Amino acid sequence: MAAMAALPPGPLSPPGGGAGAAAGPEGAEGLFVLLGAGLAAASHPLLYVKLLVQVGHEPLPPTIGRNVLGRKVLYLPGFFTYARHIVEVDGKRGLFRGLTPRLISSTLSTITRGSVKKAFPLEDMEHVSNKDDVKTSLRKVVKETSHEMMMQCVSRVVSHPLHVISMRCMVQFVGREVKYSGVFSAIGRIFKEEGILGFFVGLVPHILGDVIFLWCCNLLAHFINTYAVDDNFSQASVIRSYTKFVMGIAVSMLTYPFLLVGDLMAVNNCGLRAGLPPYAPAFASWIHCWRHLSAQGQLFRGSSLLFRRAPIPAASFPID
């Protein structure tokens, strides 16, 4: 669950397809839009809890548990306990707070990726083949990754304003606000209070995370497939088809701080309690936010939603 929570929404797809495959027939594009919306709705409670953890909202006390060595430690509530608390406060529908703008954001992202892919079709590009020499195959990987990066950056820019609205709708749970109650009213409020730039707060770290993720994932998968997977192995083709997906899970954990900083900037100093002290100071920039989290050792806050160690040493609590 931790790995899923850290995966970027667009750059990576399991073997066999994904949002990036939306360049087929128009019927297939519509299918991917529906599939993306369905996955967004199904995963929304998970991302909702993750966001509340990211902003530092801990409404439930830690519980005593034991680590793998048998030592007593304090654990913060995991996803299921946290989700149960949300249901107790807001009912089952409360788990889907902010879903509407997120669905619109997901749809815009999928349609944009498909449109960019149609404008620059993969048929005009060279694909990596096992018959290529090392230099040729690397050149093709660089070209294909550049194409993926262009699609992801454009789709991120187009869908980010709705992502900001979704984030702010969700964190209203912290202060029980109703400032952002609808998509259109939220658009008007953000434009009035922050101008056009208010729709793009947190965009830079998100794009940087996506770009670093794509290049690391694709290059690592390429080098592993080229130098580590033996062609004489009977399942070599199967292993190669999953290498990129597995590398994506690993790399996503390394780029998670960019996702965290981007989400925190989206809600910072916007008039909601979750974006103000004591949850966070008013950050001057995303770099300021990064340095603040780094100084506190919180750059991976929210990356795990199952086993969350309390940041305060267990020795400072009476556990007997």
Cα dihedral sign, 142-146-149-155? negative
Q: In this structure, what token pair is assigned to residue 201?
A: 């707060």
Give how many domains the chain has, as a whole number: 1
Quick one: how far is CA 278 from the chain centroid? 25
Structural domain contains residue 8: no
Whether 109 shows a pLDDT value over 50: the answer reads yes
Whether 286 shows a pLDDT value over 60: the answer reads yes
Whether 97 shows a pLDDT value over 90: the answer reads yes
Residue 127: CB atoms within 10 A of its CB come to: 12
pLDDT of residue 315: 37
Strand partners, 66: 72
Structural domain contains residue 27: no
Can you tell me the distance from the alpha carbon of 305 to that of 53, in angstroms, rounded to the nearest whole number? 9
pLDDT of residue 153: 96
What string of DSSP letters covers 59-110? -S--EEEE-TTS-EEEEE--HHHHHHHHHHHH-GGGGGTTHHHHHHHHHHHH
Decide if 152 contacts 11 (C-beta within 8 A): yes
Whether 251 shows a pLDDT value over 80: the answer reads yes
Show the DSSP H helices in the chain as ranges: 2-6, 26-54, 79-90, 99-119, 134-175, 183-194, 203-223, 236-254, 256-267, 286-296
Structural domain contains residue 173: yes
Q: CA–CA distance from 7 to each of 1, 52, 72, 78, 206 (Å)?
A: 10, 17, 31, 19, 12
Decide if 308 contacts 78 (C-beta within 8 A): yes
Tell me the CATH number at 95: 1.50.40.10
Mean per-residue pLDDT over the chain, rounded: 85
CA geometry: angle at 115 spanning 111 and 118, to 5°?
140
Instruction: Work out the average pLDDT over 272-295.
Output: 94
Structural domain contains residue 21: no
Structure-model confidence comparison of residues 68 and 270, the more confident one = 270
Whether 188 shows a pLDDT value over 80: the answer reads yes
Structural domain contains residue 17: no
Structural domain contains residue 39: yes
Can you tell me the distance from the alpha carbon of 169 to that of 184, in angstroms, rounded to the nearest whole number? 12
Instruction: Work out the average pLDDT over 17-37.
Output: 64
Structural domain contains residue 312: no
Domain that holds residue 109: 33-122+136-307
> Taking every pair of C-alpha atoms in the chain, what is the biggest distance, in angstroms?
68
Q: 190-243, pLDDT tens digit by residue? A: 999 999 999 999 999 999 999 999 999 999 988 888 887 766 666 777 777 778
pTM for this prediction: 0.84
Structural domain contains residue 289: yes
Whether 5 shows a pLDDT value over 50: the answer reads no
